Amino acid sequence: MSLPSKIGPMMVCLLCMASWFVPGADCAGYPPDTIVSEMYGGVRVHEFNDFKSHGQEAWGIQQFDFKTKTRIGIMLVTYRSGQKVGHGRGGGSNENSGTFKISEGEYITKVKVVGTQRVSGLKFYLNNGRESPEFGGGGGGNDPNPATNWVEPPEGYGIMSVFGHADEEMDSIGFLSGPVGGKLCDNISIVTGKWKLKDYVNGGLTRTISRGTTHGTTRETSKTWGTETTLSVSQGFTYAGSETSVDVSNTWSQSTSESYSNLFSETEMTTETIEFSTGGQLWAWVFTIVDPCGTSTTMRDYVMTRSRAETPCCLVGWAADVYTQFGPCANGAPNLCTEEDKASPNYGVQMADSSVIDRLGWRAQTEVSVGFRRGLSAGSLFSFLAVRAILL
């Protein structure tokens, strides 16, 4: 791989996985095609590297918060994943506060760094021409004659993470840059699955439901995004409940990834109409996927319980009884219902008889009371009806 044609005034630059490198620049563990800038500032103790500490959760910057005076006393970085990482402790340079938020679709294309012995000032420039204020000052004290340097990765790259040294204040700083667009979006950082509240009714319900994947920002999503998301879910994801969460892996994550793989590859939601013949609280299983480009959601399956106080206990598809979503889970699958939930007289008890009316245009199979007695599962309904549609 050849050297990028535009490096800008970056003095030390490393293109990971390339045929060339700068001696002493550590590329181990970075995403492919990462560019590592020189480190600017002075004192080199108390090293930090957000990506090496937090992995993909520290890739793609969403916001900077600063405490400053003549130098940078505290820098808090918030990444697209929600991961927050703070550096510095004030050190007498904490009289002024400042925040710079980077919206979805925006990314940093250039940074002005002021400082020789410390980091005295920072200013950020975005791909759409927007600029931050200049945080910090003109130096002084431990940094009496600060130099001005510019970090500007090649076209098609954005600054994604930070590294450096910090103790009482920001002593030095460097930046990791990566490709923007579809290739960047493929770096899946966090996947969370959760049951989310939908409609609550005290009688029959006709509902237009959504199935598929939507992206929270306009993006150039590569063809491999769905594949990478499927792989990430297979390797493990977070199952979030109302009061606690658990990491899911092995059999449960692998089977879930297989059943959702086609939906992860879709780029929009489709709608279908279904009619429930009984009342209750409707829930949707929603995957939230975070990558450096923003947040995406995937949804397909719906279930019903008596009320919002009875959150489904199990991973989607892993209730011991499909008609009893507020109850035990099959094969030792994670159960997020609390001990208080399990002491409820309704725990593990099926709901009243119910049926679902098919409005999907298939041959009349209108009363599915056997398949939907006490505790509705729209996901199971779709599977059931789809099989019947094929067989009929």
**Are 193 and 303 found together in one domain?**
yes
pLDDT in the model for residue 162: 98
**Are 213 and 88 found together in one domain?**
no
Which among 155, 180, 205 is the end of a domain? Answer: 180
**Are 272 and 341 found together in one domain?**
yes
Is 250 in contact with 334 (CB distance < 8 Å)? Answer: no
Residue 59 corresponds to which tokens in the numbers above?
């890739």
58/191 Cα distance (integer angstroms): 15
Residue 4 lies in a domain: no
**Are 156 and 273 found together in one domain?**
no
Residue 8 lies in a domain: no
Residue 282 lies in a domain: yes
pLDDT in the model for residue 201: 81
Which among 137, 155, 180 is the end of a domain? Answer: 180
Is 122 in contact with 100 (CB distance < 8 Å)? Answer: no
Question: pTM value?
Answer: 0.57
pLDDT in the model for residue 222: 60
Residue 254 lies in a domain: yes
pLDDT in the model for residue 333: 93
Which among 180, 209, 229 is the end of a domain? Answer: 180
pLDDT in the model for residue 220: 59
Residue 214 lies in a domain: yes
* Residue (of 160, 167, 155, 154) closest to 41 by Cα position: 167
Residue 5 lies in a domain: no
Domain holding 74, by residue range, is 14-180
Residue 392 corresponds to which tokens in the numbers above?
């009929």
How far lies 31's CA from each of 19, 62, 149, 164, 252, in Å?
Answer: 15, 19, 25, 18, 28
**Are 84 and 214 found together in one domain?**
no
Given a cut of 70, the residues of the chain with pLDDT beneath it are: 1-28, 92-94, 138-143, 181-184, 217-223, 352-392
Residues 240-290: pLDDT tens digits?
988 888 999 888 899 999 999 999 988 778 888 877 777 789 999 999 998
Other CB atoms within 10 Å distance of the CB of residue 165: 22
* Burial of 49 from C-beta contacts in 10 A (0-12 / 13-18 / 19+): middle
**Are 99 and 132 found together in one domain?**
yes
58/49 Cα distance (integer angstroms): 9
**Are 213 and 148 found together in one domain?**
no
pLDDT in the model for residue 365: 29
| Overall domain count for the chain | 2
**Are 174 and 193 found together in one domain?**
no
**Are 205 and 309 found together in one domain?**
yes
Q: What is the domain-level CATH number for residue 191?
A: 3.30.1750.10
13/24 Cα distance (integer angstroms): 11
**Are 155 and 196 found together in one domain?**
no
Residue 385 lies in a domain: yes
pLDDT in the model for residue 219: 60
pLDDT in the model for residue 14: 45
Q: What is the domain-level CATH number for residue 118?
A: 2.100.10.30
pLDDT in the model for residue 327: 96
Residue 157 lies in a domain: yes
Within 8 A by CB and 6+ apart from 183, the residues are 33, 222
**Are 277 and 318 found together in one domain?**
yes
**Are 270 and 343 found together in one domain?**
yes
Is 172 in contact with 261 (CB distance < 8 Å)? Answer: no
